[in-house]
Amino acid sequence: MKYIVATLFLWASCLIAATGQEETERVSDGCKRCNHRGVVECKRHDEADIALEKEVDFCAIAARCEDCGGTFQVDCGFCIGGPDSLPLERRRGRIAGILKGGVPAEKLLERPLPWVRTPHFDLVVDVEYLKNGSKRLDAHEFLHHLARESEAAASMLDQHLKAKPHHYGRAKIYFWESLADHKKVNRELLGTNTESGMKLYGPKPAASSWTGAKGLQGKALNVAANGVHIGIHLLLSSAFRGEWIGDKKAGWFDVGAAHWYEEQRFQRTATYCVDEAIADLNYKNGQWRTVIKSELAKRKETLLPELSKELSGTLWEEEHALSWSLYDWLVTEHPDSVKAFLMGFKDGKEMRDICRKELDMTLRQVEDAWRSWVAETYPARNPKARKRL
C-alpha cells in the first residue's frame, strides 16, 4: 500500500512540474494579440514619428512619453510577457538614464529642455516655434531638421578628415528664444558676459545663440544654416586634439570650411560668427561662385601670401568668400590632404610649409592652380538657394 501511494505521489509531482513548465513556456511566448512578442507599439507615436526619431540617437521629448518612455513600445497587457519584454525594459532603463543625465543647461535653468543627441552633437532648441516659409515648426520638429542637416555636414567632414565621431569632442549647440536664457548660458556655461552668439572651442566645444538675433530672425532656415556652420567650427576645434586654429594664422581654413559645409547643405552661406565680426552679414547674398570667378579673373595681384596669415576674426567680407573658394579647391582637388592641413595648423605650421610637404607645391603654385580651377569649373550662374527646410 505504501508503495502504491508513493508511486501515485511521484506521478502527480511530475505531472504538476510538467504542467508548470508548459505554462511558463506558454507565458514567455506572448500571445496572438502581440504577435507573440510580449510588447505592442505605443499608440502615442505613429509610423512617421517613429521613423523621425530613429534618425537620432536620443530625443528628450520622445523620452518623456508617459507611456513608452521613448521606446515606442509598451507591454502587451493581454499576456504576462514574451521574448521582447526584457529587452524593452532594458531599453527603457537606458533611455531614462540619458534623460536623467540631461544637458548642462537643464541644470542651470532648472527645467527640462527640448534636445536631441546625434553621433556628433547635443542640440538644444528652446523655442515655441520658428518660421519656415508660410508655415511654423515647433521645437521638436525643428530639432529633427537641425539634427539631419548638422549630421549630414558632419558626415562629409568625417570623410574629409578620415574621422569617426569619437575623434571629436561632443559639441553642444544651444538656440534660445529667450535672450535672458541665452545670456545666462553664455555667462555661466561659456564664460562670457555678452548677448552675442558665442562659441567655446577645444576638447569640450559648445555654442549658444539667440534666435531673435540679426541674421537669424526666428527663421528656421537661417537657424539651421547657422547651426551647421557653428557645428563645423566646433568639430574642427576638437578634432583629434582640442585646439582652435582660428587664432593660428589659419583663419582661411577655419572660416572657409564652415562656410563650405553650410553652402553644401543650403546652396548659400550667410553665417558670420562673432569671431569673424568684421564681416558683413550678407556678402553678395551668400552665393559666391560667380563673384569669385569674376574677382579672380580681374585681380592679378597674388592673394595667398596675405590671406594665408589672417586670423578668423580679421577676415574681411570678401576674404570670407575667397577662403570658402580656396577650401572648395582643396577639398575637391586634394581631399586626402584636408586632415594634414588641419593638423599642420594645429601644430603651428605655416601654410607654405604644409603646401610644400603635402602637395609638393609652393604657395604661388597653389594660387595658380586654384585660380585655374575656379576659371574652369565655376558656373556662369549660381545654383538656386533653398527657401525652406
The pLDDT tens digits for 254-275 are: 999 999 999 999 999 988 875 5
State the Cα angle at 145 between 67 and 233, rounded to 5°.
Answer: 120
Amino acid code (one letter) for 141: E
Which residue(s) pair with 121 in the sheet? 171
279, 272 contact by CB (below 8 A): yes
Amino acid code (one letter) for 196: S
For the stretch 128-179, pLDDT in tens is 999 999 999 999 999 999 999 999 999 999 999 999 999 999 999 999 999 9
Cell 574652369 maps to which residue? 376
- Where does the pLDDT of residue 198 fall: very low under 50, low under 70, confident under 90, or very high at 90 and above? confident
28, 76 contact by CB (below 8 A): no
Q: How far apart are CA 60 and CA 196, in angstroms?
A: 27
Residue 14 has pLDDT above 90, yes or no: no
Q: The whole model's pTM is what?
A: 0.90
pLDDT at 275: 53
* Grid coordinates belonging to 37: 512578442
For 136, residues 6+ apart whose C-beta sits below 8 A from its C-beta are 129, 130
Output the average pLDDT for the chain.
91
Q: Which residue stretches of the chain are H helix?
A: 2-28, 47-53, 60-63, 85-101, 104-109, 139-161, 179-188, 220-238, 251-266, 289-298, 304-307, 317-333, 338-346, 351-358, 363-377
pLDDT at 215: 87
Domain extents for the chain? 33-101, 110-243, 245-389
Angle between helices 251-266 and 139-161 (to 10 degrees): 130
Residue 369 has pLDDT above 70, yes or no: yes
What is the end-to-end Cα distance of the chain in Å, rounded? 87
The CATH number given to 110-243 is 3.40.30
Mean pLDDT of 243-255: 96
Mean pLDDT of 78-107: 96
